[in-house]
Amino acid sequence: MNLEPIGVLRSSAVFLGALPRQPQAGEGVVELVPGRHLDHAVHDLPGFSRIWLIWWFHRSKGEWRPKVLPPRSRCGRKGVLATRSPHRPNPLGISAVPLLRVEGLRLWIGAHDLVDGTPILDIKPYLPRYDSFPNEREGWLAQVEAGSWQVELGPVVQGLELAERVRAILAEDPLPHRARRIHAMPDGRLRLGIGFWRFFYRIEGARVLVESALFKGLKVD
Ligand SMILES: C[S@@+](CC[C@H](N)C(=O)[O-])C[C@H]1O[C@@H](n2cnc3c(N)ncnc32)[C@H](O)[C@@H]1O
């Protein structure tokens, strides 16, 4: 089998931790490679409002494991093929993303979950009549209930670009979880890690109070 990228995703999302786990935020551009007549290959695509991107998890490091601990799992490891983990036998990602416009070799897309530089292997139109099955069973994910946590960001954290990402992660579940990079600290606070950032918070009943942040070990004021 020979696979060659047909393009690359360009966006402002340069670090993995800031991305949603499924297409939910931001905009980006798929830049198709020149010299392969791909500008002709995308003719008729603008008639579709959503497309599938099939892509390579090029930033996944190390060996894949048969069982992984997904961020949303509340009861241990899951077979990797029953997850959307980036660490899989063949690190292929699929994302159904809004297609905003096409200009020559550039495809502008809406909410996505790909980091800048991701190789794009294929593009197909999303066909709601064949690709959408909202009533199917969701396996272990069905056990994951949306928490009723009320996240309150302190003034320092509110001003940060990552604020809404912090809110989304903690609203889902602020309790310690290794794969979600949430640790209980000896002083009773909890710490969330996202890239080089560390966020410190307390839980009071259903309230999650995010008080301070460090970036590369330095306090953010
Ligand atoms: C859980 S995966 C799901 C991807 C895709 N929607 C799927 O279901 O196959 C999404 C996460 O993959 C990570 N990611 C995005 N682009 C990546 C890349 N090029 N290499 C490795 N990880 C990536 C980001 O952390 C993002 O939040």
The model's pLDDT over 19-75, given as tens digits with 9 standing for 90+, comes to 877 777 789 999 999 999 999 999 999 999 999 999 999 999 989 999 998 877 767
Q: Is 24 in the pocket of ligand 1 (CB under 6 A)?
A: no
**For residue 146, pLDDT beyond 70:** no
Q: Is 114 in the pocket of ligand 1 (CB under 6 A)?
A: yes
Compare 17 and 190 and report the one with higher pLDDT.
190
Cα–Cα distance, 105 to 87 (Å, whole number): 30
Q: What CATH architecture applies to the domain 7-131?
A: Beta Barrel (2.40)
List the chain domain ranges. Answer: 7-131, 150-219
- Least confident range from 38-47, 173-182, 195-204: namely 173-182
- Non-local (6+) Cβ contacts of 185 within 8 A are 191, 200
Cα–Cα distance, 67 to 153 (Å, whole number): 34
Q: Best mutation site among 15, 50, 114 for ligand 1, i.e. most ligand atoms within 8 A of its Cβ?
A: 114
- Strand locations in 67-217, DSSP E? 67-68, 78-79, 92-103, 106-109, 119-125, 150-153, 182-184, 190-194, 197-204, 207-215
pLDDT tens profile 148-163: 789 999 999 999 999 9
What does the pLDDT average to over 112-135? 96
Q: From the CA of 16, give the closest atom in ligand 1.
A: 25
Q: What CATH architecture applies to the domain 150-219?
A: 2-Layer Sandwich (3.30)
Token pair for residue 57? 């998890």
Ligand 1 centroid distance, CA of 115 (Å): 7
**pTM (2 d.p.):** 0.76
H-run or E-run covering 9: strand 7-11
What does the pLDDT average to over 96-109? 97
pLDDT (0 to 100) of residue 15: 82
Average confidence score pLDDT of the chain = 92
pLDDT > 70: percent of the chain: 97
